[in-house]
Amino acid sequence: MITAKAAALESYIFTHNMTAALVKDWPADKWTAQPSGLPNHALWTLGHLAASVAFFASIAGVSVGPVPENYNTLFGMGAKPTADSAAYPPAVEIIAHYERTFKEFCAAIEKLSDAELAEPSAKADSGFVKLKIDALSRAAWHEGWHAGQVSLTRKAIGLPGIMG
């Protein structure tokens, strides 16, 4: 029998792997391509996801290592992407933080018991994340939302789909 924690982790890992597959073969000169009508470019999205993990971890009562302080300015809630690639750290750095924060969040969740994950979250009164385990499923939802945007950008810049 699969536990709620295992199911939530599996969902988040699946979503993360889909996002990683979407950007795996991204052309270096297209990281900040933002075709008309699309809200974010791929580089901004990966930085945003890396920066967002700390929020989801905090409401689950765990922590991940920090991302550089300027990530909240560049990629945090309300930050607007720019086509100027010089405004961002190198893609390899952003990808490294994206992967690291994901792995650290998963590892921290793994250490919590099912009983701990069933406790109210730090944001329980907001209705967004009532239980600690909800932080994991919301992180999967959030990444999936942005993966959809990356998928649309991928198509718009002429890259093939990843699912056939």
Tokens representing residue 104 in the block:
């650290």
Candidate from 1-5, 98-102, 116-120 with smallest mean pLDDT: 1-5
Spatial contact of 3 and 114, defined as CB atoms under 8 Å apart: yes
User: Long-range CB contacts (< 8 A, 24+ apart) of 156-160?
Assistant: 156/33, 156/35, 156/38, 157/27, 157/30, 157/33, 157/35, 159/25, 159/26, 159/27
* Structure confidence at residue 117 as a pLDDT band (50, 70, 90): very high
pLDDT of residue 164: 65
Instruction: Label each residue of 13-42 as H, E or C.
Output: HHHHHHHHHHHCCCCHHHCCCCCCCCCCCH
Reported as a single tens digit per residue, the pLDDT across 84-105 is: 999 999 999 999 999 999 999 9
* Structure confidence at residue 1 as a pLDDT band (50, 70, 90): confident
Reported as a single tens digit per residue, the pLDDT across 122-155 is: 888 888 899 999 999 999 999 999 999 999 999 9
* Structure confidence at residue 33 as a pLDDT band (50, 70, 90): very high
**CATH number assigned to the domain with residue range 4-156, chosen from the 4 options 1.10.238.10, 3.40.50.300, 3.60.20.10, 1.20.120.450:** 1.20.120.450
Q: Is 10 strand, coil or helix?
A: helix
Enclosing H/E stretch for 128: none
Q: Which residues of 69-93 are buried (b: 16+ CB within 10 A; e: fewer)?
A: eebbebbbeebebeeebeebbebee
The residue type at 89: P
Q: How far is CA 66 from CA 8, 40, 54, 74, 97, in A?
A: 23, 23, 7, 15, 9
pTM of the model: 0.95
* Structure confidence at residue 58 as a pLDDT band (50, 70, 90): very high
Tokens representing residue 88 in the block:
């961002």
Q: Alpha helices, DSSP H only, in 65-131?
A: 70-75, 91-110, 114-117
CB neighbour list of residue 134: distance below 8 Å, 6 or more residues apart: 121, 128
